Amino acid sequence: MPTYYKWRSAKIQTRKHEYPSLEVTNHPLRVEVLNLKISASKSFIQSLHKWSSSFEELDPLLRFEQMNLENVKKFDDVINYSKIWSMKCAAILNKYTTGEKLTIISSYLPGGEKISSFSALLRQVSNLNEKVKHRLEQLDDFDETSVRKTMGLSQQEFVTKIHMLDDEIKKAWDSEQRVKAFKIAIQCSKLLSDISVMQFYPSKFVLISDVLDNFGALVFDRLKKKSFGSDNVKFEDIDSNLVPESARETCQNWMFKMASIRELLPRLYMEMALLKCYVFISKEEIKPAILRLITMIRGIGNPLVGIYVRVYLCKVASSLFGKESECYFYDNLKEFLEEYQQIFQPAMAKKFGTQLLTADQYLSLYVPAIDWLFSGTLNTVSCKITFLEELLQMCDNTENSELLLCCLLSVYDSPNIIKKSSVILEIIHKSAEHMVLLSQILSSLGEHLCHAEPYRQHSSEALSQSWWKIANNMKSTADFLLVLEPWLQFACKQLSIQHINMLLRGTIRYMIKSSRPADGYSSQIQSAIKRMLKSIPDVEELFLMDAFMPLVELVQTSSERTMMAKTVLSVFFERYNSVQIEDHIIIASLMRLCCILHDSINAVTVEDEIKLCADLINKFIQTVSYQDDFQQQLNFYVDCRSAFIKLDSVLVTLVHGVHALAARAGRARGSWLPRACAAYCFVTVPSLQCALARAQLYLLGAHSALLAACIGQAEANLKAFVGLIPDIPQYIQEDGQNKPTHDKVLGLLSNFLSTLLILPDNMDSTSKAYILSGFIKVMERIHWKKTDPLYYTLLVRTLDLLCHMTQEKYVYHIDGVLSNDELYGSEEEFIEVLENHATAICQELLVVLKALGDVKETKKQYNLALELFWRIIKRSDLKESSMISLAVNLWVLSQKIQDSSYNFAKTLLSALEWDKSAEGQRLLHKLKSI
């Protein structure tokens, strides 16, 4: 058991220092703001140009950047059709899918019947003429009985089979079986005549066209190698006159093989695939061949098959001639327009009807093809707006023109469409009852108008009224909502809130009279509302409309209402620019949405969802302000507490908000508001689940009450804080991990000890410094580990507090709060109580020092011994022999266990040397004599 030492605190004399003063006119930390006067006739950049012009030529990076910009401008006019086609292919493959079973016909798929006689024949002949003869015989003697028909394929299986055929072509080519490769390509092209699964046809075309491209590249590369060897010669650099006769003859053989194909469709596709090879015969023959193919495609009776043949022809031509090929796009488009009515033949209607396709699904199959033809055609016309007028005139005079109109809106840019928007709406209005693509057309037009510059009011209203007359008569709710989304955005950008409100009222009426409940269309309604929130100039105006909140709450399912509320709140707070919300209507609307979020939380709600909801509600609470109406603000916080009781983080925000309100109110408003705020917080804090959060808020409540001179409330909060200390967990859950609370608890208790210095005692209590006494008793009851740094650090800081509380005047006060230095006036009984506590803590620290020595924690023991030694020489009365004896013993202990860093001890010793008092010099003499 350590020796008993009676602690006696020293009275610290406050010293007044006289420092030289200097009068200043500006604060030394003030930021100087430079105001620039900019000429109204010049921009800001122009006004600064004269300051930077002298450095521009010296910056090499700027010069390189300018060179790159010039290069970009040079290539802006060059259209990369290959890149455009690749993007279209990806979009087609993603959109045109099917769950139907597919069929593939081929002789060369793995697992099918293999033809091995061909390679054997080739090995038996050596003469070149005989080899050519046998190849032609193999092509002519194509055995139809060897064709294998595979049915019942899924979409993925079909794609896999096509890739297999592509690989078979490459394998056959590499093994000198070029006729076999040719026959596989022919069979692939024949697959494009099958429209038994129309919905998948665009994707099938993309897959097979890639196979044909690869085959054409194999033939071209072989002919190029025969002509120029290993030289890397580009297509545009090939001179037909320099091609050797052998290569020319080989090319002609390929053309003869292609011409010998009996069926029109594979013959057309194979000639297109080999079109590039004409350069080895005569480059001048390519363009006439393209014109001939454009005419030959007329022989294909099926309009769906025919238009995709034209697409492939334009794709091949664009890869060969680039911008020069745009005339072929136009020629193919004219051919298609002449045959346009074939799309609507009864035979075609019967075919897509048997496949259970709707008319709009059938017509959508043509959209990628027509878009491709239009994309090249528009680059040939000199005046796009004139061409658009011609096409719109044709649409107005043509029956079933909706497909063309839909594609026009897809390929034309917004400025041109906006100029003719009223004409387009008139055309739509004339045929709206019969249009199956009405929703797509109206939606596309609305998307274009969303990019418009501000219209004149009457023009915008006229457009809005026109589309609404059409959309309001739609029978399909899904189509109506598809159209509604862009047109609402257009209205938000161009029209008044009264007009927007009318549209919302009409939408609600339409949804109510709909045969299906709104819950089935919640995602579309949510999307429309989201676009409104993002596009309207002042987002607050939406909540001032009487139809907005009824539209938001149109869905009745709990999950859908929650998603709707979450969307509205998220976008609102993203766009809300003001610091505070003051409008009562907006506050009520947001409160309703926050209640929907809160009520959706239950026992199975995931943590991330709870956090998101809490963040949105916290943003709402933090932005609501009733300005100087403090009572109304407090009532708002009371309503929020009852509405959001499930969310701890929201309750924490409310407590902080109430404390801020009390600080704003100050003491000028009377004592009722600070006391009401303190009572609110004291009642709210126990609702929190986390003991650490409760402790933090109790301490904050004590601070707030002391600032308002509400001593009773401060005392109650500190008593609750002391009682909560044993419940604070050692670990808390943060970000999915258990994190220790050591540092947080140490900071919290240190803050608590600092607060006790200014808290006056309750004179009705029989105990002196009774809250501090209670804290020390709680420390004794808690089963602390003696060697825990948290424990002995708190003991040291409690000793610091006790030493400060014995002084005649405390180092800090709060205005209006009578602290114990003034309350007791250094009363002996009060000082005796404090020194008894200090003595007990000093003895406990000696016990800790022994425990640290027992567990060989020498570094901690060394530091703690010197920490206590420092308290003795600075805060204790060295006239007492017990204090001198304790200081000497601690110094001896530190010298025995000192580590390699002796700096701490030397610093303390040097500080003692500056103490000129007799007691300090006597202690220093004893220490040096050891």
**404-451 per-position pLDDT tens digit:** 999 999 999 999 999 999 999 999 998 888 889 999 999 999 999 998
Please report the pLDDT score of residue 2 as a whole number: 53
Query: What mean pLDDT do residues 588-604 have?
Result: 94
Q: How confident is the model at residue 104 (pLDDT cuts 50, 70, 90)?
A: confident
Q: How confident is the model at residue 302 (pLDDT cuts 50, 70, 90)?
A: very high
Please report the pLDDT score of residue 708 as a whole number: 87
The C-alpha R_g of the chain, in whole angstroms, comes to 44
**Residue 815: what are its φ and ψ, rounded to 5°?**
-60, 130
Chain centre to alpha carbon of residue 834:
59
Please report the pLDDT score of residue 887 as a whole number: 85
Pick the residue with more confidence: 138 or 290? 290
Give the whole-angstrom CA distance, residue 250 versus residue 226.
9
- Name the average pLDDT for the chain: 84
Pick the residue with more confidence: 130 or 163? 163
Give the whole-angstrom CA distance, residue 18 versus residue 769.
36
pLDDT exceeds cutoff 70 at 164:
yes
**Residue 105: what are its φ and ψ, rounded to 5°?**
-120, 120
Alpha helices in 666-788 (DSSP H): 672-684, 691-707, 711-724, 742-756, 770-781
Please report the pLDDT score of residue 460 as a whole number: 79
Residues 522-560 have pLDDT tens digits of: 999 999 999 999 999 889 999 999 999 999 999 989 999
Please report the pLDDT score of residue 899 as a whole number: 59
**Residue appearing with tokens 């970009």:** 72
Which of 215-224, 284-293, 762-771 has the lowest average pLDDT?
Answer: 762-771
Query: What mean pLDDT do residues 111-135 have?
Result: 44
Query: What mean pLDDT do residues 580-606 have?
Result: 93
Which of 73-82, 455-464, 471-480, 606-615 has the lowest average pLDDT?
Answer: 73-82
Would you give the DSSP letter of residue 876?
B
pLDDT exceeds cutoff 80 at 905:
no
Between the two ends of the chain, the Cα-to-Cα distance in Å is 24
Give the whole-angstrom CA distance, residue 252 versus residue 791.
97
Give the whole-angstrom CA distance, residue 630 versus residue 642.
19
pLDDT exceeds cutoff 60 at 296:
yes
Please report the pLDDT score of residue 38 as a whole number: 41
**Residue appearing with tokens 């122009």:** 46
Query: What mean pLDDT do residues 759-788 have?
Result: 86
pLDDT exceeds cutoff 70 at 692:
yes
Q: How confident is the model at residue 113 (pLDDT cuts 50, 70, 90)?
A: very low
Which of 56-70, 537-551, 630-644 has the lowest average pLDDT?
Answer: 56-70
Q: What b/e sequence results for 830-846 when a residue is b if at least 16 CB atoms lie within 10 Å of its CB, and e otherwise? A: bbebbbebbbbbbbbbb
Pick the residue with more confidence: 884 or 668? 884
Q: Which helix (H) or strand (E) is 190 found in, with range? A: helix 178-190
Please report the pLDDT score of residue 44 as a whole number: 40
Please report the pLDDT score of residue 24 as a whole number: 61
Please report the pLDDT score of residue 893 as a whole number: 86
Which of 195-209, 726-740, 859-873 has the lowest average pLDDT?
Answer: 726-740
Q: How confident is the model at residue 288 (pLDDT cuts 50, 70, 90)?
A: very high
Q: Which residues pair with 739 in a beta bridge?
A: 732
Query: What mean pLDDT do residues 704-711 have?
Result: 89
Supply the pTM of this predicted model: 0.78
Token pair of 163 as six digits = 């890739």
> What percentage of the chain has pLDDT greater than the value 70?
87
User: Which residues make Cβ contacts (< 8 Å) with residue 782, sequence separation at least 6?
Assistant: 725, 726
Give the whole-angstrom CA distance, residue 501 versus residue 492.
10
494, 399, 488, 375: which is closest to 442 by C-alpha?
488
Q: What b/e sequence results for 435-454 when a residue is b if at least 16 CB atoms lie within 10 Å of its CB, and e otherwise? A: bbbbbbbbbbbbbbbbebee
Pick the residue with more confidence: 151 or 919? 151
Please report the pLDDT score of residue 458 as a whole number: 54
pLDDT exceeds cutoff 70 at 232:
yes
Residue 570 exposed, middle or buried by CB count within 10 Å (0-12, 13-18, 19+): middle
Torsion of CA 347, 348, 351, 356, to 10 degrees: -130
* SS3 label, residue 151: strand
Give the whole-angstrom CA distance, residue 351 versus residue 196.
8
Please report the pLDDT score of residue 394 as a whole number: 92
Query: What mean pLDDT do residues 674-690 have?
Result: 92
Token pair of 478 as six digits = 């899904």
Query: What mean pLDDT do residues 311-318 have?
Result: 94
Q: How confident is the model at residue 108 (pLDDT cuts 50, 70, 90)?
A: confident
In single-letter form, the type of residue at position 401 comes to: S
Q: How confident is the model at residue 103 (pLDDT cuts 50, 70, 90)?
A: confident
**Residue 413: what are its φ and ψ, rounded to 5°?**
-80, 160
In single-letter form, the type of residue at position 796 comes to: V
Please report the pLDDT score of residue 15 as a whole number: 52
pLDDT exceeds cutoff 50 at 869:
yes
* SS3 label, residue 534: helix
Please report the pLDDT score of residue 786 as a whole number: 87
Please report the pLDDT score of residue 32 as a whole number: 54
Please report the pLDDT score of residue 598 as a whole number: 95
Please report the pLDDT score of residue 151 as a whole number: 82
Please report the pLDDT score of residue 13 as a whole number: 63
Torsion of CA 687, 692, 695, 697, to 10 degrees: -70
pLDDT exceeds cutoff 90 at 632:
yes
Q: How confident is the model at residue 55 (pLDDT cuts 50, 70, 90)?
A: very low
844-849, long-range: CB within 8 Å, 24+ apart, which pairs? Answer: 844/795, 845/792, 845/795, 845/796, 845/799, 846/2, 846/3, 846/5, 847/2, 847/786, 848/786, 848/787, 848/791, 848/792, 848/795, 849/2, 849/893
> What percentage of the chain has pLDDT greater than the value 90?
50
